[in-house]
Structure 1
C-alpha cells in the first residue's frame, strides 16, 4: 500500500505528468490511471479501473516482435521508483526495465501494461511524494 503525502515536492501541475512510450521514433501517449498527487499544498488521490478496462475501445499500438519500447516523461524530478506489469491471457507478470525501456514480447498477440511511477521521499523511508499508474496496450504482429 502506498501512501500519499505533500512533504517535499511542490508540483506545478494539478495532476501527475503525462507519460509516453516511444517505439521507432514514434511517440504514443499512455492513459493515466490511479494516482496520488500533491499540488499547492493539497493532496488528491484518484482511483481508476485496471489497464484492460481503462483502455477499452482504444486500439493497441502495433509493434514488431522484440521491438524496443522506451518510456518518456518530460518532467523533473523523474520518478525514482518504477514498476511495469504485463497482462496477457488473464496472466500478470512483472517486466524488467533497463534504462527506461523493455523489449516487446516475441509471441504475437495483444499485451496490456501498467506502468507505475513513484516519487519517493529522499529523506524519509517509505514515504511517497506522489505516484501514478499509466496504462497502454501493444499488439505484436
Structure 2
C-alpha cells in the first residue's frame, strides 16, 4: 500500500511540474491593423520555468521577411495598430522598434497598446519586446503600407 501511495504522489508531482511548465509558457502576442489580423512571428527570447531555462536567438525581422518567414500585411497609411499579449508584462517593459527598408530604425510611441503605422508607402518591420517574471521575448511583424 505504501508503494502505491508513493507512486501516486510521484505521478502527481510530475504531472504538476508538467502543468506548471505548460501554464507558465512563453506569452503570445496578437496584433491588428484597423481590426485586420497581422501575422506575428516569435523572435529572440530567454525564458525560465520550473524545470527548464533557455535562450533562443533568431534572425532579425528584416532577414525574416527576406527569407519568407514573415509575410507582410498590407495596411493603409496611418492605420491604427493595436496589440495584446496573452499575459501582462512586468511594469513598463514593453518597447516597439520600427525599421524601414533602408535599415533606419526608431522607437515607436505607443499609448494604451496602440500605435500608428507610417504614412509613407513602403515595407516596415516592427520588433515588439516585453519582459515577464520568467524572461523576455521579442516578436516580429511586417507591414506593407500602400495607399
TM-score by length of 1: 0.78
Tell me the distance in 2 between the aligned counterparts of 1:14 and 1:44.
14
Q: Is the 8 A contact 2:38 2:141 kept in 1?
A: no
Kindly indicate which of the two structures has a greater share of residues assigned to strand: 1
Within the candidate set 40, 56, 60, 1:46 is matched to 56
Q: Is the 8 A contact 2:81 2:114 kept in 1?
A: yes
DSSP-derived class of the 2:94 partner: strand
TM-score by length of 2: 0.75
What's the RMSD between the two structures over aligned residues?
A: 1.8
2:27 is equivalent to residue 17 of structure 1: yes
Pairwise CA distance, 1:14 = 7.0
DSSP-derived class of the 2:22 partner: coil
Q: Is the 8 A contact 2:77 2:121 kept in 1?
A: yes
Runs of 4+ in 1 over 4 A off after TM superposition: none
Query: Comparing both chains, which one has the higher relative contact order based on Cα–Cα distances under 8 Å and sequence gaps of 6 or more?
Result: 1
Q: Which residue of 1 aligns with 2:6?
A: none
Q: Which runs of 5+ in 2 are unaligned?
A: 1-19
The correspondence of residues 106-121 of structure 1 with structure 2, limited to 5 A, is 106-119=119-132, 121=133
Tell me the distance in 1 between the aligned counterparts of 2:39 and 2:22.
20
